[in-house]
Amino acid sequence: MRVFFDDTISYSMYNYSLDQCPWNNCNGSVAFTVVASDPSSPSLTPEASPSSLPDASPSQLLVGIPSEEHHHPYHLTVIRVGIAVTAVSVFLLIILIFLIHRKSRELGDSENLDKTCWNVFPPQPIQKGQDGPSTFQKFSYKETKRATYNFSTTIGQGGFGTVYKAQFSDGFVAAVKRMNKVSEQGEDEFCREMELLGRLHHRHLVSLRGFCVEKHERFLIYEYMENGSLKDHLHSTGKTPLSWLTRIQIAIDVANALEYLHFYCDPPLCHRDIKSSNILLDENFIAKVSDFGLAHASKTGSINFEPVNTDICGTPGYMDPEYVVTQELTEKSDIYSYGVLLLELVTARRAIQDNRNLVEWSQQFMATESRLPELVDPAIGDSFDLEQLQTLVTIVRWCTPREGRVRPSIKQVLRLLYDSLDPMHSGRVQTVEDGECEGDESGGRTSKGKVQGNEVIFHSGDARCLPSSSTSRSY
């Protein structure tokens, strides 16, 4: 090969010997002139020497031109890889943005709920009652999970969640209610129960000790009740039967709690779900009412609830039949449920058993006094007082008619219970006077009992007060 240069043109001459020539009949050489420096010159203009074969085809001539087609697959592969990497990066970026947004929203919801909780429950001691000071606090999810041994210590199941026994690192023992997967209704129940229990403080109401909010998890932490629910003692096998006097005292405890809710709360409350599973017993078998998820407050602030149209809520067998039909709620709905609970205490039968309502089933035995003993739980045998049984049956009849207006108030029920059932009461305390109660300057209500030395006389030696006494008010 020979290369020639002049001022404007450079070109190369390729000489092929006869045996190296790619074309047939090649004689001499083929010259290709490449213009390098003159832009106006035609590019890549092959010129055949005079000695080249004139009959060579264009396709044959192209064989001598170097080809760059073998570079194309490499470039396409690089482009494809780049597109794929870019697409994956964009996809991962979108997922990351979505996760960050969701996490921010969850944290925002938790912070808002925390603010609401601390507005209702300031982080300071709430009350100092007979059991010492109680504080309301926020618990972390981690310590709640650890205290319940990874939520394995189940002690109860309710309509709104599962209850676990928890023992925290400082020795504090509590009952932890884990709310069902949070829905709009579940969130409402959670907030309502927190708000109500935060301002309800009474010896016969289960006290709220704290809460836990973590993402979509909601927990309420209550004081622990050593002896579980009344339902367990009445219907579970393997439990020692409750004595007759214990059952009577439980009836009085629940009535005291209802008196507080109906008369001394501001505003007054209907519990709406009085039943044996919501009556908890401490180590001394003192009864306390729990589960305020369905509680309804009087909008007018009046003791005598005006009928309020509400969605029907409650437990079959305990629900007021008038409320079920009219959907109008009054405090007399709680009175009906209390009457069913009394029957359950006496008979140890469920509110609905063998497809029969307990109130309807009992009518055959309450029709005549001679059959009253047949109502009593066989586990008690003859260890009951017939006159006290007659009093309980009278109260049941009084509380369970279908028309709410003929049912008594809980004050009237308490009066009858104390006058007839408490053996320490007779001769020591005056009966509450016929006037139900008198209003005080603050709009609260007071009742009259026997007073000595400016102190109310208590009964049974356990600081439980007489009808309408100070134990029915907040501490």
The number of angstroms, rounded, from the C-alpha of 161 to the middle of its chain's C-alpha atoms is: 6
Phi then psi for 423, rounded to 5 degrees?
Answer: -65, -20
Strand order in the sheet with 45-46: 2-5, 10-14, 30-33, 45-46
Q: Which tokens hold the place of 199? A: 């301002």
**Has 19 been annotated as catalytic?**
no
Q: Name the token pair of 248.
A: 């009577």
Cα distances from 224 to residues 13, 193, 208, 281, 444, in angstroms, run 105, 17, 10, 9, 31
Place of tokens 């009577």: 248
C-alpha distances out from residue 441 to 266, 444, 474, Å: 14, 7, 17
In terms of C-beta density within 10 A (0-12 exposed, 13-18 middle, 19 or more buried), how is residue 40 classed?
exposed
Contact 436, 303 (CB under 8 A): no
- 221 φ, ψ to 5°? -110, 120
> Any binding-site annotation on 128?
no
Q: Which of 7, 19, 273, 422 is catalytic?
A: 273
The residues pairing with 308 across neighbouring beta strands, listed in sequence order, are 329
Structure tokens at 410: 């809980």
Q: Which residues contact 331 (CB under 8 A, 6 or more apart)?
A: 262, 268, 270, 303, 304, 305, 409, 410
Whether omega for the bond prior to residue 66 falls within 30 degrees of 0, making it cis, is no
- C-alpha triplet 449, 408, 428: angle, nearest 5°: 25
Tell me the binding residues.
Answer: 177
Task: Give catalytic residues, as residue numbers.
Answer: 273
Tell me the binding residues for ATP.
Answer: 177
